[in-house]
Structures are given as structure tokens and as C-alpha cells.
A and B are shown apart, each in its own frame.
Chain A
Amino acid sequence: MPTVQADNLSKTFHVADKQPGMLGTLRHFINRSYRAVQAVRDVSFAIEPGEVVGFLGPNGAGKTTTLKMLTGLIHPTSGSVSVLGQVPFKRRPDLLRQVTLVMGQKQQMIWDLPPMESLRVNAAVYGIPEDEARRRIDELAEMLTISDEMTRPVRKLSLGERMKCELMAALIHHPRVLFLDEPTLGLDVNAQTAVRNFLREYNRQHGASILLTSHYMADITALCDRVVMIHKGGLIYDGRLAGVVNRFAPFREVKLELASDADESVMARYGEVESIQGRVVRLLVNRDGLTATVNRLLSEQDVTDLTVSDPPIEEVIGRVFDDGEPGDTDEYTTGADSV
């Protein structure tokens, strides 16, 4: 049974519209108009026990809304969610003890007290005995490499330290399912690496399932084998990280150096010409016919050097979000790339 199962999740919000200016203000005061915004539409996926899944999408794609539906903070307009076999919106204590949600920087910590106090509160709330809580706190602190920060008030901690404490507070009850919304946002590179290593370690030790959103591709490539991508509320990809390139960039880049200056009309016979600079040519060649094309190039042209490479994944994903339309949804939701 999958740990998290989402079927055809949709969520529509009603937001008030207001025109700018004094007249708009007045009209808004007297008669408000609302419009429906579909934040998430027909999103389905499953997460298996122990899996770390990256959840990608540009700002406003519906990631946070989806996470909130998965944790039961939001009731879906239609579709269903099951987490560990339960409906999260019922918020039953035995389910709550096994899941956690991390969102932003200062959600759980008591601002004017040292983090230790907030951790004690959470330990008590989750019914963890005192000595066990102490052991877990030490263990988490060691994994996250923090110690002397524990005695300073939260408001005096740096962003990175606060995020680490936030993670401790969110994980003290050893949840089996983790929903993490931008856990590394705004952190410096060292802290990002520390959080990343910590999550990998936690996943390994506890076999927990993790669904993670991040703006940093490094987080995703370091932690996730599989990614789920949404755009404008719709699912556009669900599959292995490596498959993203295959799926969205069915080309490879072939860089040639010829013995003499290249002719564009000749080169166009082999693939899409990206650029020609004297004797150096960049071609985009369809993946399927790559071997044949390279063979033809080598036999027909006077090639002095040739390299074949994947376009970088950041660029591919960036391109997907630039022109991927939710209309494409059906085409992408099912496919061989699903794990």
C-alpha cells in the first residue's frame, strides 16, 4: 500500500476582485465580485514507503495547496487523499503522530525562548517520555550539527539555525511521512548542505517517506530519484529525475569542430542548427536517430572533434515551466516513465 495516495485532487478558491483607484475601492466596498481560481486540478500520484519525491513547479503552480491537502489542512474540492490509509482531513491523533509538515521559518518555535523549550512542548504534545525526548533531541542536534544554539532565544538565531530547529521540532515525534515546503529557502550554501544531508540520513534511518518542494535543483538532485512536476495546477510529469531530460528534451546537443568553415544549409541536413561560429557548429539532434546521425556526420564531413551532451537539467525544467501548458496534462500524466 502506498504511504500517500492522491487521486484526481482538485482545489478551487474564490477570491475577491478589486480594481485599482478610488472608484474601484468604492465599488469594492459596496459590491464585491468574486472569481473562482483553480489552484490544483486533477492531480494524482502515489508515494511508496521510504521514497523521497521532489515536488516541482514554478511559483503559484499549486505546490503548497497540494501539500496542505495532503496534510489535511485543506479539504479538496474534489478527488481524494489517503495518507497511511487514512483521510488526513479528519485529523485523527494517531495519524497526526505519524506525519509532519514543515513550512517556512518561524511556524512552531516560541519566539522569545530558547529552542529547547519549544522542543519540550512538542515532546509533551506528542506524548514522548522525558528521557526519550532528550535522547531524540541530542540525536537530531548531532545530525544537524547544532548544540550551543539551543540555549539562545529563537529570535536571536540565524535563519539557518532557526530552520534546523524547526526541523527538529517537526521531527521529534519520528514521523513516517514528511511534507517539506522549501526547507532550504534563504539558507546559505553550508546550511543547505547540512539540511540536505540530514534529510537523507533521516530517510535512511527511519525509512520515512518524504515529499519535498524546493527552488534549489541541488536539493532535488541530491535527494530525490523521482520527481512530480506540476504547472498551473496540473500534473505534467511524474517519474524518474533522469527521465525529465528524456521527456522534455528529446534532443541532445552535438558540438562539432570541422576542418574548414561550415555551411549552414549543409549542416541543417543533420539536425537543428543552434549556432555556427566559423568551424564550430552546435546542433540539436533527435535522440532516436543520434547514432545514425553521428555516423553520417563522421563519414560525410571532415570532423576534427565531436562531443555529445545532455542539456543541463535546470535548463530543461526551466524550459518546461516556461512553455508547458496545462492543456498538455493528459499527454504527460501517464507513461512509461512512471516508477
Chain B
Amino acid sequence: MSSHNENSKLPPLDLSGWRWLPTFLMVVGGFLTLVGALLSNHYNNLREFGTSWLMAFMFYYSIALGALFMVMIHHLTDAGWSVGIRRFSEHIASLLFPWLAILFLPVALLGKRIYAWMTIDPAQNNVVAAKLPIFTVPGFWICSAIFFAVWWVLSSQLSRWSLKQDESGSVECTRKLRWYSGWGIVAYAAVLTLSGVLWMKSLQYQWFSAMHGVYFFSTCAWSGLATIYVIAAVLLRQGTLAPVLQKNYFYFIGVLMLGFTLFSAYAEFAQYFVVWNANVPEETFWYLIREHGNWWWLSMLLIAGKFFVPFFILLPAAVKTNFKVIIPTCILIWAMHALDIAFNVFPALHDQGYHLKWIWLPLGCLMLMGGFLAKIFLHKFNSHPPYPQRDPRLLEAMGVSQHAVRDLMAANTGGAK
């Protein structure tokens, strides 16, 4: 509480000096990506470029999915505190279509350079043959189109009804939002899993793990929460969301981050342990590749940076509302999440260790996409009210207790109810 007061005494954060950043990222990233594409075309037939692009795409894709999850969970649990973070989460989620779909096009077009199974004759390979008809080029395009169609319906409808709710605050809007979230969460689980399998796991098509979908979901939510925390903290300090964000809501986001730190470690440990212990060659090869060269160091780094460091930082209760500690932790989470995606994606191309001379290419792709998506996000954010104006739980989010809200409603209806 006291730190909240200190914060509100500070002058609001002025961000106008940072407007150049997304454009800058796009220019620098675009340059690096372009050079990378040309060099990669020259040296290895665009395989390096395609894989780097896929890695950067999966990074932003997973963050958008994490935000979408938080929006749906808000509606499903009828939560009070998350009203303030809902609107910008909707904006992040609605990046999924069409913008991330556009960014996906290079992956689909370069499919044959990225995915080994696309160039393998199923008649010669029974592992690919087992996955027909999905593991064909048309199958890949059709499935990807269906995935993005689902994201389009979900993210656009959740935004649309949310904006309608701003005007009327009617019950119908809330019901619609809950309805979309209800079937949406089922579709979400299915599409998230299948897209993770088709776009990421299938890089090494011989490998299979039933836990992969759960693992991918846990990291999506983890990185999404870190993003939400940072944006919420900036918008609180800047004053835009000050009315609907209490200090202890950051505690809730922090608890969720802690929870997903544990959950993603759980998912990865379970996957690793079962593969390691059963020692079946069809499965262990995936981890064996990742013990070669610098992949081994990366795996050690991930154990520390994805679990131990954030876990022990996030564990104490008081720290979760301390921006000075948690915002660097969020940046760590982003970095580790990007490395984790790289750990999943790149060994398919570099099975003896990553060629560090290419490191600037995925960074360039990340910068280009980051700048581009940030610009669109800011445009969306600036053209709509910063938080839901008539959410039924708005008063609770403003810090009015549930008992008091009930009294206010009773006053509205003349005390009859």
C-alpha cells in the first residue's frame, strides 16, 4: 500500500520520447532480415532464414495466445480484478488475425525449406506415411488456414462484444462474451495444441510427445503474463489505467506468473523424465540432439533461467508488486521464452550446435516483427477506450468491495432486491 502511495506521488510517466522505437526496430530488423534472407539464399537455400523467421513468429504467436487465454479466463471466471488488463489483452490477442497470419505466410511459402517431412516421399518413410493426410503440403495449408480462422473468430468476436459493452453495459454483451469464451477455451486448447504440433514439433517429425501441447500452452501463458505485467505497469505509471489497477492486482499477476513458472517446469520435467527413464530410441533422439555442442549449454541455461531464477525471484509475497524487481524478471522471461522456442526449433537445422555466426538473423526477425506488431498494437490501443468502460465488475476493479457493490445495486433498484 505504501509503495502505491509513493508511486502515485511520482509524476506520470511520459512516454512520448519513445515513439521512434517501433519504427526504429522495424528499420533495423527489416535490414537485418533482408540481408539474412539474401545471404541465406546464397548459402543454404533460405533454410536458415525460414527457420529464424519461424522462431520469431512462434515467439509473438505464443505471447498473443497467452493474452487471448487471459481474456477468456477473465470472462469464464467472472473475475473482478482483471477488468483493467482486459482491453489491452484483447488488442494483443487480436494481433492473431490478420497480422500474425500475414507474418506466417513466409513460413508457409518456405515450408519445403523448413520442414524436412515436406520433401520426404511417404511411400519411403512409414513415420510420415502414418501422419497422412495432414502431413502433406495441402494438408499443411488447410490446417494452418483453419487454425487462423478459429483465432480470427475468437479474437475479433471477443473484441467486438467488449467494445459494444462499453456503450451499453447490457447483460447481453456479457453473456455473449462468456459464450464465446466457453466454447472458445475448448477450441483454444485444440488449436493451440495442433498448431504447436504442426508448426513446431513437426520440425522433427519422427518425434512424438503427448505432453507437447500442454508444455506449449504453459509457455504461452507464461510469456503472455509477463507481457501483460509490463504493459499494465507502464500504463499504471503513465496514468491511463490508474483508475482500474490496484497495487494488489499486480500481486495476482505475479502469483499467476509464479504458477506458470512452476507449471511449465512441471510440463517440461514430466516430458523429459518420461522420455529419459523409458529410454525408447524413437523418443530419446530428440533430447540427445539437444545435448550436442552449445545446445547443451542452452539447456542448462533454460533450466536455470526458465525455472530456478524466476521461481526464487517470484516466490516472496511482497516482491510481486515491486516493479523494479519484476519488470527485469519479465524481460528475463521474454528472453528465456525466446531461447526456449529456439531450443525447440533450431536443432532441427543445426543438430551439432547452433552456428552463432547467424545469431543476428533471428534477432533481426524478432526486431522486425516486434516493431511491426507494436505499431499495430499502439494504433489499436489509441483508437479505443483504454479499459472496459461498463464491465459488470468495473466497480470491484476500482477497489469497491463486493459487499459495497451489492449495496449500490440495491440502492439502484430502490432497495427492493
Q: Do A and B come from one complex?
A: no
